[in-house]
A and B are shown apart, each in its own frame.
Chain A
Amino acid sequence: DGGITQSPKYLFRKEGQNVTLSCEQNLNHDAMYWYRQDPGQGLRLIYYSQIVNDFQKGDIAEGYSVSREKKESFPLTVTSAQKNPTAFYLCASSRRTDTQYFGPGTRLTVL
């Protein structure tokens, strides 16, 4: 069964804590992306990676970090430096044709 998985679905974090969101794909896609979505808003790009061991900042990278050690995996860490981390986080992957396939998302709430 091919696709993109994200875990966990819901995540609660205390202020000052770092938290890592998982994103795995078995579509053999080279490119992977992390987006943030706030209520009633569009998708804002946090980080993207076009190839293993390489990634670039998107529009709102401050307070976030990523790694791309394997083609299948692109975890996102939300650090304590992120001022307003409560949001819906979406991971996506694509081939070079630009069409992106999204995971089910992780809803992060900071308590």
Chain B
Amino acid sequence: GQQVMQIPQYQHVQEGEDFTTYCNSSTTLSNIQWYKQRPGGHPVFLIQLVKSGEVKKQKRLTFQFGEAKKNSSLHITATQTTDVGTYFCAGPRGSSNTGKLIFGQGTTLQVKP
């Protein structure tokens, strides 16, 4: 069945270091979404990428969607303690527009001050 995998599962960095999480889908996606979940909180939508090869930036966060629309990455430059949390990628399930998403397992980021 359709799968979305994320690596790494956990990442510990020193404050100021960069961080990258990778998302790989078993199928071509019409779009990829990224969510952030703070410890004890709920997932919050960050961004959606739609076009092949698309790159979007939000301050220190850079999101990329692969040319084949099967992989994506989130890169954080110069991490801060406020970046702590779990980052999930998600893509539409199947080919029909049902609104259902399939989520990756998430990458949990810890930042040491």
Chain A residues at the B interface, C-beta cutoff of 8 Å: 31, 33, 40-43, 45, 48, 50, 58, 90, 94-105
Contacts and interface: CB of A to CB of B under 8 A. Distances in A.
B90 to A, nearest CB: 8
A48 B105 contact: no
Nearest to B9: A40
A48 B100 contact: yes
B31 A98 contact: yes
Interface in B18-40: 31, 33
15 contacts: A31-B99, A40-B108, A41-B105, A43-B43, A48-B99, A48-B100, A50-B99, A58-B100, A90-B43, A99-B45, A100-B45, A100-B90, A100-B99, A103-B42, A104-B41
A42 B100 contact: no
Interface secondary structure of A, over-half rule: loop
Contacts, number: 52
B103 interface: yes
A105 B31 CA distance: 26
A91 B41 CA distance: 13
Contacts of A43: 43, 88, 103
Contacts of B45: 99-101
B105 A98 contact: no
A98 B42 contact: no
Contacts of A104: 41-42
A111 B105 CA distance: 27
Closest CB pairs A-B (n = 6): A42-B105, A102-B42, A31-B99, A43-B103, A42-B103, A102-B43
Contacts of A58: 100
Contacts of A98: 31, 33, 48, 92, 97, 99, 101
A8 B9 CA distance: 30
B44 interface: yes
Contacts of B41: 104-105
B104 interface: yes
